[in-house]
Amino acid sequence: MTELLQLTVLIPLYNEDESLPELHDWIVRVVTEHQYTYEILFIDDGSTDDSWTVIERLAGINPNVRAIRFNRNYGKTAALQTGFQAARGQVVITMDADLQDSPDEIPELYRMIVEDNYDLVSGWKQKRYDPITKTLPTKLFNAVSRGISGVQLHDFNCGLKAYKQKVVKTIAPTLYGDMHRNLPIVANWNGYGRIGEKVVQHRARKYGTTKFGLERFVNGFLDVLVIGFVHRFSKRPMHFFGTFGTLSFLIGSILAIWLIVEKLINIAQGVKFRNATDNPLFYFGLVAIILGVQLFLAGFLGEMLVRQSLGKSGDYQIAERLGFADRVSIS
């Protein structure tokens, strides 16, 4: 039987070899002071520096360290998904490896999950030490996310979050792309609506350089739209495509009927009339009918495909594991 711990500290990372020893020691100091049974779970997302060597050294001195190394860089969502599947703690706390998240926040985040019974608690970096090229897109992204999802958080993308174990086990199979920015939305739409927020300390980066780029904001915005669509229509695509297809087909049919009636009236009155193809409405009607049929068929095909694809998760090539029993699958 898998050992159930009080706490999993899950750390996805990419090229953070300088910060890892300090982060490890800080986490150990905090959890030891509060006497938690714990594991530190590093997910190395295909680092090209000495991160894995450092993790091996930490695992050699601390049996509570476990780690997974990807064969190549897959992205933060893949790292979190794999970590969620492997986590054994009753409470799972995620934090970035760059020392901008403070492990001193762990006890209060843990308390809010266990005592206040939140499903998820998201950190809010109210005071940030990032350049405006990162903070401004983040504010815009958060505003859009609140408007689309209805989840009222100030900072969706904060890496410092706490979850009940059942939450991460539920949402892990549904994650793909760059959904790590929208985990509170995914949790809420999976029925875990007790979402709290805690102001957390944000520290200036001590080592290395940020991996943030403007394209991540654009991708994040698109992912919010995708999540909204998938949540509403993934199990009933006909409701989306069929609605617009029927509406388009109806408009086209009305235009076609109108042209036919107009022609019959002109014939009855002996009025000279032009060919239907000379009327622009003929082409609008034709396009609307064709588009309506195509949308309806898309919805029909979607209904068939969704029954074969629900519940499947990504398959990431893992190069090495530390602290895992042989033949234990986590994917």
- What pLDDT is attached to residue 2? 52
Higher per-residue confidence, 162 vs 265: 162
What is Dmax (Cα atoms) for the chain? 99
- What pLDDT is attached to residue 55? 96
> d(Cα 309, Cα 304) in Å, to the nearest integer?
9
* Whether residue 226 is found in the same domain as residue 254: no
pLDDT at 310 over 70: no
- What pLDDT is attached to residue 145? 67
Mean pLDDT check: name the lowest of 24-33, 170-179, 183-192, 301-310.
301-310
Q: Is residue 76 part of a domain?
A: yes
* Whether residue 192 is found in the same domain as residue 251: no
* Whether residue 179 is found in the same domain as residue 39: yes
* Whether residue 298 is found in the same domain as residue 274: yes
CA 111: distance to chain centroid? 25
Give per-residue pLDDT as tens, 249-269: 888 888 888 888 877 777 777
Q: Is residue 328 part of a domain?
A: no
Q: How many separate domains does the chain show? A: 2
Q: Is residue 248 part of a domain?
A: yes
* Whether residue 11 is found in the same domain as residue 94: yes
| Segment holding 80, helix H or strand E | helix 76-86
| Model pTM above 0.75 | no
Average pLDDT, the chain: 80
> d(Cα 261, Cα 240) in Å, to the nearest integer?
32
Q: Is residue 327 part of a domain?
A: no
* Whether residue 281 is found in the same domain as residue 135: no
The total of other beta-carbon atoms located within 10 Å of residue 82's CB is 26
pLDDT at 185 over 90: no
Q: How far lies 150's CA from each of 27, 62, 78, 162, 222, in Å?
A: 34, 42, 25, 20, 17
* Whether residue 131 is found in the same domain as residue 13: yes
* Whether residue 198 is found in the same domain as residue 123: yes
pLDDT at 160 over 80: yes
The two three-digit tokens of residue 89, written as one number: 């703690």
Q: Is residue 329 part of a domain?
A: no
* Whether residue 142 is found in the same domain as residue 247: no
Q: Is residue 79 part of a domain?
A: yes
Give the angle subtended at the CA of 180 by the CAs of 45 and 171, to the nearest 5°. 105
Q: Is residue 331 part of a domain?
A: no
Domain housing 28: 5-233+313-322
Give per-residue pLDDT as tens, 31-79: 999 999 999 999 999 999 999 999 999 999 999 999 999 999 988 989 9
Q: Is residue 100 part of a domain?
A: yes
* Whether residue 210 is found in the same domain as residue 76: yes
Give per-residue pLDDT as tens, 109-123: 999 999 999 999 999
CATH number of residue 145's parent domain: 3.90.550.10
> d(Cα 153, Cα 175) in Å, to the nearest integer?
20
* Whether residue 36 is found in the same domain as residue 113: yes
Specify the DSSP class assigned to residue 49.
S
> d(Cα 261, Cα 322) in Å, to the nearest integer?
76
* Whether residue 228 is found in the same domain as residue 262: no
